[in-house]
Structure 1
Amino acid sequence: MKKLFIVALLVVGMTSFAQEKEARPERAQMEQLTPDQRNQLQLKKMTLELDLNASQQKEMSTIIAEQSTKREAKMAERKATKDSAKKQPTSDELFAKKSQMLDEQIVMKKRIKKILSADQYKKWDEMKGNKHHGMKKRMMHHKNKKPVETGNKK
């Protein structure tokens, strides 16, 4: 009786794993929002979470638009270099890229600090940190195919 029960469990387990998963559409095939639509949505989210006034919304919309165009350009550049060659960047090139990225982040933080009030800036910084922490956790999970233990941010 025990053997029959174990065999039945194995059969049920095997058939459940053999089921076809629903095919998810590829990212390229999914309906994409235009850059302007993405910018508007991001601005509306920030307005809701930070309670931005009209002048702050106007200034933030320009910053979001600039970030969006830079991001699109960098993605196109990455795609072009990815397709052309599979060589690894040198340590000097990596250092230069990371240094430039950090410099841009410093400038962006200063610009946003001028626009937002102290309370809004604090909340924005926390939101940004939480988003970064969650993204890092998901990326590590995706790379290793297993959950990753992450310590506190602070």
Structure 2
Amino acid sequence: MKNVALVVLLLVGMTAMAQKGKGNHRGAMKDLTPEQVATLQTKQMTLALDLSQAQQSKIQAVNLENAELRKTKMEERKAAKKEGDAKRPTSEERYAMKSEMLDHQIAQKAEMKKILSEDQFEKWTKMKHSKRNHHRGDKDRQRARK
């Protein structure tokens, strides 16, 4: 009986340690400035899409704008949470936020279409789609564990 208890205890401990390594990969990115985030994203896109120097500078500006917007939104949420004002948004507020986000995505897509060639734009669209589905898969796996 003692051996069985010891084996169970070891298995639980190993499982807990294995899951400790999994975590939020954005943790390392949250400490970076918007300029650093934009530069890293631009470099990743340059490698994936083989961007010219002119394209790199235009995409750098787009990525910087997006990074700054994300940073300000995150700081607003943190401030509201700290002040205790972090309550669930009403359905109208959720609609407005979702509409604003979609408008921004449409504008970004149009801007990228101007900057990238047809092949590059197609590849960029596929990259965004696969990344979005990959993150959804993570959430599905997390729900299945609960």
TM category (shorter chain) comes to 0.7 to 0.9
Q: Which residue in 1 is equivalent to 2:102?
A: 102
1:16 pairs with one of 11, 15, 38: 11
Map of 2:73 onto structure 1? 74
Matched residue type, 1:102: L
For residue 136 of structure 1, report the CA deviation from its aligned partner.
1.6
Quote the residue 1:60 is aligned against: 59
- Contact 2:77–2:86 (Cα < 8 Å) also in 1: no
How far the C-alpha of 1:18 sits from its partner, in A, is 3.5
Aligned mates of 2:68, 2:107 — CA distance in 1: 16
Which amino acid is 2:17 matched to? K
Q: Give the letter aligned to residue 123 of structure 1.
A: K
1:32-47 matched pairs, under 5 angstroms? 32-47=31-46
| 1:30/1:59 CA distance change after superposition, 3 Å | closer
Please give the per-residue CA displacement for 1:53-82, whole angstroms capped at 9, x wherever unaligned.
011001000001000100000001111222
Please state how far the C-alpha of 1:88 moved relative to its aligned partner: 1.7
Cα distance, 1:105 vs structure 2 = 0.4
**TM-score, structure 2 as length reference:** 0.81
Unaligned runs of 5+ in 2: none
After TM superposition, give the deviation of residue 33 of structure 1 in Å: 3.2
Query: Cα distance 1:60–1:30, how it changes in 2: closer, same or farther (>3 A)?
Result: closer
Q: Shift of residue 97 of structure 1?
A: 0.5
Instruction: State which drifts further: 102-111 or 79-88.
Output: 79-88
Aligned CA distance change for structure 1 residues 46 and 79 (closer, same or farther; 3 Å): same
Number of corresponding residues: 141
For the structure 1 residues 94 and 47, does the alpha-carbon distance in structure 2 shift closer, same or farther, using more than 3 Å as the test?
same
Are residues 146 and 69 of structure 1, via their aligned partners in 2, closer, same or farther at CA, if it must alter by over 3 Å? same
Q: Which runs of 5+ in 1 are unaligned?
A: 148-154
In 2: Cα distance, 1:56 partner to 1:30 partner: 27
Deviation of 1:52 after TM superposition, in Å, equals 0.4
Structure 1 141/111 Cα, relative in aligned 2: closer, same or farther at 3 Å?
same
